[in-house]
Amino acid sequence: NAGVMQNPRHLVRRRGQEARLRCSPMKGHSHVYWYRQLPEEGLKFMVYLQKENIIDESGMPKERFSAEFPKEGPSILRIQQVVRGDSAAYFCASSPSRGPGELFFGEGSRLTVL
Amino acid sequence: SQQGEEDPQALSIQEGENATMNCSYKTSINNLQWYRQNSGRGLVHLILIRSNEREKHSGRLRVTLDTSKKSSSLLITASRAADTASYFCATGGYGQNFVFGPGTRLSVLP
């Protein structure tokens, strides 16, 4: 089984541009989580989605950030009008619909804002 | 939300020694999980302990859970250089978001 796939692995944007990060969960997983990690720090929860539903977006900044997980296709984390402070590694994780909820992580997308 | 916090923040040991990391959390939990992250990589699940369990083993890993103190510990026995990584505890479960602590950076010196 392929693991959680994230792309792009590295993304460079200039201030004011948009960044789109994609995440394909493991086969059969219907839950997706997005986390942000700054260097030498832990993971900060951003958003938890199921197919076509946002379950918990309490960690998402209220402006410029949005996430979706459509019925078909990958989950997308979108950052509009990026600023230097958005530079970070963004990790996606997925879990199956049953069970205690072990998370399977992708390798992350590293966003650099110039 | 539940918050896991690990200590120490950083730990440096010699190969062959044991490494112990601790995690504290604030609210009641269904389970607690430990993850490892190698530099520049995604997190990998190590072990899950349920709230009604006190101790769990997996290979060289031993996890304990004390729900009365809201704390857990991860012991890595006979450490190897390949164990060098950051280790995170996480609380949460099905239908909930997962909250990770700041992690312990373990360095195992050859």
Q: Which of B2-6, B55-59, B86-90 has the lowest mean pLDDT?
A: B2-6
pLDDT of residue B7: 78
The answer, yes or no, to whether residue B21 has pLDDT greater than 50, is: yes
Distances (CA, A) of B33 to A1, A58, A107: 23, 21, 19
Partners of A45 on chain B (C-beta within 8 Å) are 1, 97-100
pLDDT of residue A13: 98
Instruction: Grade residue B4 by pLDDT with cuts at 50, 70 and 90.
Output: low
User: How sure is the predictor about A87, in pLDDT bands with cuts at 50, 70 and 90?
Assistant: very high
Q: Match 């963004």 to its residue by tokens.
A: A90
Across chain A, mean pLDDT equals 93
In whole angstroms, give the CA distance from residue B5 to residue B55: 19
pLDDT in tens, B29-62: 889 999 999 998 999 999 999 999 999 999 999 9
Chain B neighbors of A33, CB-CB under 8 A: 97-98
Residue B45 confidence (pLDDT): 95
Q: pLDDT category, B9, cuts 50, 70, 90?
A: confident
Residue B23 buriedness (CB in 10 A; 0-12 / 13-18 / 19+): buried
> Are A101 and B45 an interchain contact pair (Cβ–Cβ within 8 Å)?
no
CB spacing of A48 vs B45 below 8 angstroms: no
Cβ-based contacts of A93 with chain B (< 8 Å)? 43, 98
- Where do the DSSP E strands lie in A1-114? 5-7, 10-13, 19-24, 29-37, 43-50, 53-56, 65-68, 75-79, 88-96, 104-105, 109-113
